[in-house]
């Protein structure tokens, strides 16, 4: 079974400051890792994913995440945030050996609150 822990329920940060949103996972098998973003009253949008290859993955809007197998982490970072980045961010895992399902297991989310 897999589980995902997002220790920070809310991260307040000032505009143009750097930010890191933490994600740790637990799994007895190899996993794929994802970050999704959810704006108020909307569904989830895929922000970035790690499936294989380079452990550092980047999104088109300046976010990046690094897969660290030894620490079972997949922290999300951005060097300079904007007001428009204010949203809920969810980390999720999917087992490589999930059989036919490939269902996603989500963390509880981190609210990134960017202040002017």
Partner 1 sequence: DTGVSQDPRHKITKRGQNVTFRCDPISEHNRLYWYRQTLGQGPEFLTYFQNEAQLEKSRLLSDRFSAERPKGSFSTLEIQRTEQGDSAMYLCASSRDKAYEQYFGPGTRLTVT
Which positions lie near partner 1, rule CB under 8 A?
4, 9, 32, 34, 36, 41-46, 49, 51, 90, 92, 94, 100-109
- Rg of the Cα trace of the chain? 14
Q: Cβ 90 to partner 1, closest distance in Å?
A: 5
- Cβ proximity to partner 1, 19 vs 105, nearer residue: 105
Q: For the CB of residue 16, give the shortest distance to partner 1 in the complex, in Å.
A: 28
Work out how close the CB of 34 gets to partner 1 at its nearest, in angstroms, rounded to a whole number.
7
Nearest of 67, 42, 43, 71 to residue 56 by alpha carbon: 67
Closest CA to 31 of 62, 69, 61: 69
> In terms of CB distance, is 19 or 33 closer to partner 1?
33
Instruction: Give the nearer residue to partner 1 in terms of CB position, either 26 or 108.
Output: 108
- Measured CA to CA, the distance from residue 108 to residue 56 in angstroms comes to 23
Residue among 68, 62, 16, 18 nearest 37 (CA): 62
């Amino acid at each position: 079974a897999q589980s995902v822990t997002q220790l920070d329920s809310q991260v307040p940060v000032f505009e143009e400051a750097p930010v890191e949103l933490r994600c740790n996972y637990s799994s007895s098998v190899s996993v794929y890792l994802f970050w999704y973003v959810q704006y108020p009253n909307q569904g989830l949008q895929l922000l970035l994913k790690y499936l294989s290859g380079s452990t550092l993955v980047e999104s088109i809007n300046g976010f990046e995440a690094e897969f660290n197998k030894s620490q079972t982490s997949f922290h999300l970072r951005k060097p300079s945030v904007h007001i428009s980045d204010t949203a809920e961010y969810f980390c999720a895992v999917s087992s490589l050996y999930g059989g036919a399902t490939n269902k996603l297991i989500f963390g509880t989310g981190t609210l990134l609150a960017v202040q002017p």
